[in-house]
Amino acid sequence: MTAEIIVVTSGKGGVGKTTTSASLATGLAMAGKKVAVIDFDVGLRNLDLIMGCERRVVYDFVNVVHGEATLKQALIKDKRHDNLFVLAASQTRDKDALTQEGVEKVLDGLSEDGFDYVVCDSPAGIEKGAHLAMYFADHAVVVVNPEVSSVRDSDRILGLLASKTRRAEKDESPVTQHLLLTRYNPARVAIGEMLSVKDVEEILGIEVVGVIPESENVLTASNNGIPVIVDATSQAGQAYSDTVARILGEERPLRFIDVPKKGFLQRVFGG
Amino acid sequence: MKAGSATDVADACDLRFGQVGIACVRVRRVDAAALCDELERRVRAAPQMFARAAVVLDLSHLLNLPDDGAVDALLEAVRSAGMLPVGLAYGTSETEALARRMGLPLIAKFRAAYEPAQSGPLAAEPAPRAEPAPAVQREPILSAPPPGSMQGALHHAGSVRSGQQVYARDRDLIVTGAVANGAEVIADGNIHIYGGLRGRAMAGAQGDGKARIFVSDFRAELVAIAGQYRVFEQIPRDLEGRSVQCWLEGDKLLIARL
């Protein structure tokens, strides 16, 4: 039994990779899977903050890669889910502290420990850290915002996923690609300020696995160290739940992609 | 998709669009010691610029082409001055033979301009093959075939992503998918794209002016045939999203709806 490795990547920074990693990992754990989420952004670690475990980091990913700590010592158990673990990045090192062998060793270790899923939160860019995060992946969640520069960077990443991963190098079946559209604002799409779901699908030539609406809840949740998926009342949380279900093979219609219709009173008094 | 082998890199240092910065050392007399001194002085003066810079040796200003031993000495002089010779500048057929004997690539800015299409397969050979130090790092060119005669077309199924390059050597290229912004498709023959072209397409890359480009959804950044190119800052309204073909008339690159 080997763990399924999912990389969350984008090329461009600030599009919501870490938010997505945290919610995806939490969602998989809520579905009963044993999940580890690893922060590959060595030197600029954030995942621990979003997961709300920043004060419990003793050993990190780099320590394990270098054999200075065991996986058991470094994995931080989530406070809400017993089957969810965080492996934080090191803030004091840089990306060169990671090696391909070291990463492979950690991923193999997680497989042996009976993990079902390992979510790899990739740093921005296409350099070493991002390369290592995607190299061993079975699935990739490419996070994209509805704007042209993000779409182009995602296109680049999709190309790299098809050529610079272990699966590509060994001529195995390719990495399964999922496109996740985040920060989607239907109102701005309607007036032509943002690319639509259809535009993005057309430019990149693959279908979206989910659309996360732009929402204040995301920021609030992040600041409180709670993955937004835990907030079942928020649209973003529900959209992430749908996305996780789709990645697990369920069929669910897209929600929150149309401008909400205003009620009569709102139309009269302004909404 | 396969990683490119050494020969595939040939196109990565082709100077056709001036993307590669390689210093050119124009040799005025065959004096290795003097050359070394002069270059050393330059390297010391601007190490940022010249230390370990890729250098092309241009012998075309010498009255007679020096013999192999002398050229070796010149290359050694460049090396000992702290620069890295990577090839010879394009010149006469003698230069070509010399480059071949020395196992060095010939490098030219616009190869097509030096060697019109009539020169056939022989001219195709001395292209900068085993370029040891390409100045630009690119994605490996995907699936370039070995050279040979009549091979039909190279078919690329699916999209060509940003940053990728597909090169059909000595033949046509068919892409069934989109060519994204920042992607490049190149063929020595014609190019057919059954999808959107948002990136660059270059047909007749070895100088064949009869090559054409066919696109079913035109939104290109650049199209080129035999070195003649057009850049589209704004895609003309009447062409955008249409099926078009591009061809050369004289040295004018024409585009029309199909």
In tens, the pLDDT along B6-54 reads: 455 555 655 554 455 677 788 888 888 888 888 888 787 777 777 888 8
User: What residues does B228 pair with on adjacent strands?
Assistant: B225
The pTM is what?
0.67
pLDDT at B56 over 60: yes
Cβ–Cβ gap B163/A160 under 8 Å: yes
In tens, the pLDDT along A105-129 reads: 999 999 999 999 999 999 999 999 9
d(CA B136, CA B92): 27
Chain A environment of B139 (Cβ under 8 Å): 159, 163
Which pLDDT does position A134 carry in this prediction? 97
Mean pLDDT of chain A: 93
Among residues B204, B206, B230, the alpha carbon closest in space to that of B218 is found at B230
First to last CA, chain B: 32
pLDDT at B207 over 60: yes
Cβ–Cβ gap A163/B177 under 8 Å: no
Chain A environment of B177 (Cβ under 8 Å): 205
> B137, B138, B159: which to substitute to probe chain A, counting the most A Cβ within 10 Å?
B159
Contact B166, B160 (CB under 8 A): yes
pLDDT band with cut points at 50, 70 and 90 for residue A261: confident
Mean pLDDT of chain B: 78
Angle at the Cα of A37 from the Cα atoms of A250 and A78, rounded to 5 degrees: 100
In tens, the pLDDT along B219-258 reads: 999 999 999 999 998 889 999 999 999 999 998 999 999 9
Chain B environment of A153 (Cβ under 8 Å): 162
Q: In what order do the strands lie in the sheet with B184-187?
A: B165-168, B184-187, B200-203, B222-225, B228-231
Cβ–Cβ gap A203/B198 under 8 Å: yes
ipTM: 0.71
pLDDT at B128 over 80: no
In tens, the pLDDT along A124-172 reads: 999 999 999 999 999 999 999 999 999 999 999 999 999 999 999 999 9
- Point out the residue among B139, B140, B181 whose CB comes nearest to the CB of A152: B181
Find the closest chain A residue to B181 by CA distance: A152
Dihedral angle of Cα A257, A260, A261, A266, to the nearest 10 degrees: -170
Which pLDDT does position B141 carry in this prediction? 57
Find the closest chain A residue to B161 by CA distance: A159
Structure tokens at A219: 């920021």
CA–CA min distance A188, chain B (Å) = 24
Which pLDDT does position B146 carry in this prediction? 52
- Point out the residue among A156, A169, A204 whose CB comes nearest to the CB of B163: A156
| B175/B125: higher pLDDT | B175
Centre a 10 Å sphere on the Cβ of residue B21 and count the other Cβ atoms it contains. Answer: 10
Which pLDDT does position B134 carry in this prediction? 38
Which pLDDT does position B76 carry in this prediction? 87
In tens, the pLDDT along B184-202 reads: 999 999 999 999 999 999 9
d(CA A201, CA B250): 40
Structure tokens at B142: 């995907």
Chain B environment of A156 (Cβ under 8 Å): 161-163, 182
In tens, the pLDDT along B60-97 reads: 777 778 888 888 888 888 888 888 888 888 777 788 88
- Point out the residue among A155, A163, A169 whose CB comes nearest to the CB of B162: A155
Chain B environment of A169 (Cβ under 8 Å): 3
Among residues A61, A57, A56, A210, the alpha carbon closest in space to that of A122 is found at A61
Look at the block and give the residue holding tokens 């690609």: A177
Which pLDDT does position A220 carry in this prediction? 93
- Point out the residue among A152, A163, A204 whose CB comes nearest to the CB of B182: A152
Contact A38, A61 (CB under 8 A): yes
Half-sphere exposure at residue A200, Cβ-oriented, CA atoms within 13 angstroms: 28
Find the closest chain A residue to B140 by CA distance: A163
In tens, the pLDDT along A25-82 reads: 999 999 999 999 999 999 999 999 999 998 899 899 999 999 999 999 999 999 999 9
User: What residues does A36 pair with on adjacent strands?
Assistant: A85, A118
Half-sphere exposure at residue B118, Cβ-oriented, CA atoms within 13 angstroms: 0
Chain B environment of A170 (Cβ under 8 Å): none
CA–CA min distance A207, chain B (Å) = 14
Which pLDDT does position B126 carry in this prediction? 37
Cβ–Cβ gap B140/A163 under 8 Å: yes
User: Can you spell out the DSSP letters for A234-250?
Assistant: SHHHHHHHHHHHHHTT-
Would you call B135 helix, strand, or coil by DSSP? coil
Q: Where are the alpha helices (DSSP H) in chain B?
A: 32-45, 47-50, 68-80, 93-102, 111-114, 120-124
Cβ–Cβ gap A156/B161 under 8 Å: yes
Look at the block and give the residue holding tokens 């996360």: A212
pLDDT at B156 over 90: yes
